[in-house]
Structures are given as C-alpha cells and as structure tokens.
Amino acid sequence: MAEEKSPTDQPFSHHIFEDDPDSKRAITAYAKAVLLTTLLITITIWGVLGLYWGADWRYMQGVHNLNGWIVDFDQGLIGATVAQAYLNNTGTKEQISWYTVPASMFPNGESDVAKAVLNHDCWAAVSIHAGATNSLNEAIAARNATNYNNQAVTAYASQARNEVGYAFFLKDQIQRPMEQTIMAFPMIQAQQAGVDIVDNLLTAAPTLLFQPLNYTLDDLRPFDIEVAVANDYIGLIYLLILSFIVVLSSYNARHATGLERRLTLGRLIALRFAVPVIVYFWLSLAYALLSLYFHVPFDRQFGHAGFVVYWMLSWIGMIALGLAMEAVITLITPQYIPYFLVLWIIFNVAPVFFQIEVLPTFFRYGYASIFYNVSETVRTLLFREKNQVGLNFGVLFAWIGVSIVTLPLVQAYVRGKEVREWQGQVRQKKADVETPQSETSSTTQG
C-alpha cells in the first residue's frame, strides 16, 4: 500500500530551509539549476558577447584598410600642395590610406571620380579642379579677385554607405588635410608671388592672399532618413527576435498538441518548413508596413516597386534567420535555445556597425552574414547606394539552402532517438505484462 503524505505536507505551506527530505531535494535541485544557468550565462558573456566587444574594441587600428583617392586635374601648385597634404596624413593604422590616381583614368572628369565613389572603388576621393592654379595666377596678375572662385577642390564621400564610420572617422580624415592646406597655402602662395606682388594685393585684392583656396565636401549619398537606422541596423535585431518567437511558439504548439509524435517524419518536416514560411510572409508585411507608416521613402531606387522589394527582403530575411533556429531548437530544446539566440544576434550584429574593413580579419565572415546583406539592400533602396540586390538576395537564399539540408537531418536524428526510446518503452511494458502471467502459470502448475 502506498505511503500517504503527511497532512502537513500541503502546497503553499513550506519554508525554504525546512528539515524534511522533500524540501531538501527541491532546494538542492533548484540550486543546481540556478548554478548551471549562471555558469552558462557567464560562458555566454565571455564567449559570445566578447565577439561584439571585439568588433568595437580597436576599430581605429583598421582604418588604414579604407582607401582614398587623390585626383589632380590641376597639375599646378594648388594640386601639388593639396595632394601632399593628404599624403602627409596617411601611413599609420589609424589613417585612411590615400593614393594618388592619374587624372587620365577619368576621361569624363570629376563626374567619373564621383562615380568611382558610388561604385565602391574607394571610400573617399579628393579632386583638384582642372585649371585651379592658372585661375589663381590670372587673378593675381590682374590684381582682381572679383571673378576668382577659390573653391578649387571637391572631396567626395558617401555617408549612407556606413553612417557610423562616416561620423566617427571618415569625414574628419577628409576634412583635416584640407583644413591644414587652407591654413598653410596663403604663406606658400605669398612666397611664390614675391614681396612686390603681395604688397599690391594687400590693397587691391586681399582675398587672393588670405583666402586663395577653399574646398567643398560633396556627400553623394547623405544619410538623410532619420528613421532609417531602424531599417538598416537596429530593426534587424527585432526582425530576428520576431522570427525566434515564431520558432519557439511553433515548437511548444507541436509538443502541446501531440503533433510532434503523431506525424510521420516526412509530414513533420513539411509542416516545419511550411508553417514558418507562411507566418513570416504575413509578419514581414506587417513589419514593412510599419516603416511605410513612418514615411520611409522606398521609391528612390526602384520606384513604387521598392516597397515590394523591401517586403520580400524582410520575408526572405526572416526565413533565413528563423529556419536556422528551427534546426537548432530541435537539438538543444527550448531550455537552451536562449543562449543560441544571443549567439545568433551577436554573430549577425557584430560586423554591421562599422565598415567590415576596419574590423579584425575574423569579422570578414560578415560579408556572408544575414544582417549585412539585408542592410546592404536597405541602403540601396533608401539611399541609392551601389546596387547589389541580386547578390544580397543570393546570400540569403544560400542560408535558406543550408537550413533545407540541416533541418531534415537534425529532425531525422532526433526522431530516430525518440523512436528507439518508444520501442524500448513498449518492450519494457510487454515484459512487465508477461512476467506476472509467467509467475501465475508457475503457481498453478505447482
């Protein structure tokens, strides 16, 4: 006869440190669970979060991997002075690598220089205008600054290519050499002109002495949509979290309803592919409509089709993110999936904040990451950055292809274990039933 529980052993009636076996067992099990969780979180902090810290740790040491072009269409004193100023501001790891590029490479003049920046051939370019020195010399000779334009240099960059890097170091390293040149050039020009000419200019055209040179910074693709940070960076984390919620909810629903064990392996795999794809189709539309509500202009690159492209991008991105987690949750179960979620977020976030070129070599994997390719397409849609939409979608489909292979394999492995466990339980039950019958038969014969 089963031992009856003590009348005092009632729910909601015990203290933490009670001297009874059941309470001790419960507290011991609870303490082990908390300690294991603490250990796993500690490992996650040091091993996973450290990945993001590592990406941001010494990014300035990688700035030399960004290239800048100096194109001298002038071939005079102004051109030589400006070019030398930039060459004097390169050579260390913290500085952009500036190179002089022959003007002959740009048959259409400065418009070709701008196209090179937009084509991602370089991160910045400095163009010294053709005839800049001659125009200054002619104005000095005429002692007249009325028709002289001191805007002799145009620097080109694209903030929207990476707005964070542009703000942190790119813009400053474009402007600083020019500011130094503007300060130094009046003295250089005065030495070239001679005392007599300088004296005449002081009264006739002083601006030719004190402000002979200036420049324009042409931001070819300004990051002019404030809410766009939700589309090209922060919002991608939310997109991943939404995908995770679907994965976890579907897992719990399959087990709660019994479908996980009721369906054949093939039908279960089909269900696990079909349901999230359908759900993500709707959720990605809701996600895209949110940006439309906040007046994000999707029509800059592809017209009205831009919104549809963004919707499809969000859909395919969610599928790529979600199916990877579908495979992992099958192996490690919901108990440990939060740790993978942290890894999956950091893996995708780390190479997106700054330019990948300035990060340690390890982060070159970012070119193949989901967040990076979604972000690149968003920049094309919103800011008309270099169009690599086909390549970006191709990378996302590659991730989906990996999941199409791994999810069935993982599910087949887990199903095999479950079947073997079930068969073992059936055999054990059968043995338990046969044993009493055998004992009864032996007693009867005796």
CA angle centred on 13, ends 11 and 14, rounded to 5°: 105
Domain boundaries, the chain: 59-219, 227-429
Quick one: pLDDT band at residue 1, thresholds 50, 70, 90? very low
Lowest mean pLDDT among 8-12, 160-164, 354-358: 8-12
Q: Given the DSSP bridges, would you call strands 124-128 and 67-72 parallel, antiparallel or unpaired?
A: parallel
pLDDT in the model for residue 203 = 73
Residue 70, beta-bridge partner list: 100, 126
Task: Give yes or no for residue 186 having a pLDDT over 80.
Answer: yes
Q: Average pLDDT in the 235-259 region?
A: 97
- Which class would CATH give 59-219? alpha beta
Beta carbons of 124 and 68 less than 8 angstroms apart: yes
User: How does pLDDT run across 84-97, given as a tens digit for each residue?
Assistant: 999 999 999 999 99
User: How does pLDDT run across 297-322, given as a tens digit for each residue?
Assistant: 999 999 999 999 999 999 999 999 99
Task: Give yes or no for residue 77 having a pLDDT over 90.
Answer: yes
Rounded to the nearest integer, the mean pLDDT of the chain is 92
Residue 151, beta-bridge partner list: 214
Task: Give yes or no for residue 201 having a pLDDT over 90.
Answer: no
pLDDT in the model for residue 2 = 46
Q: What is the DSSP string of 199-243?
A: HHHHHH-THHHHS--EEEEEESS----GGGHHHHTHHHHHHHHHH
Q: Given the DSSP bridges, would you call strands 97-100 and 67-72 parallel, antiparallel or unpaired?
A: parallel
Q: Average pLDDT in the 208-232 region?
A: 93
Task: Give yes or no for residue 3 having a pLDDT over 50.
Answer: no
Quick one: pLDDT band at residue 441, thresholds 50, 70, 90? low
User: How does pLDDT run across 365-401, given as a tens digit for each residue?
Assistant: 999 999 999 999 999 999 999 999 999 999 999 999 9
Residue that wins the pLDDT comparison between 329 and 440: 329
Task: Give yes or no for residue 179 having a pLDDT over 90.
Answer: yes
Cβ neighbours of 131 (radius 10 Å) = 16
Residue 99, beta-bridge partner list: 69
Single out the residue of 363, 357, 391 nearest to residue 376, CA to CA. Answer: 391
Task: Give yes or no for residue 196 having a pLDDT over 80.
Answer: no
Note the pTM of the prediction, 2 decimals: 0.90
Q: Average pLDDT in the 54-81 region?
A: 95
Lowest mean pLDDT among 30-34, 66-70, 138-142: 138-142
pLDDT in the model for residue 100 = 98
Residue that wins the pLDDT comparison between 140 and 88: 88
pLDDT in the model for residue 319 = 98
Task: Give yes or no for residue 443 having a pLDDT over 80.
Answer: no
Q: Average pLDDT in the 210-222 region?
A: 95
User: How does pLDDT run across 322-370, given as a tens digit for each residue?
Assistant: 999 999 999 999 999 999 999 999 999 999 999 999 999 999 999 999 9
Give me 78's structure tokens.
Answer: 């102004």
Cβ neighbours of 415 (radius 10 Å) = 18
pLDDT in the model for residue 12 = 77
Beta carbons of 401 and 327 less than 8 angstroms apart: no
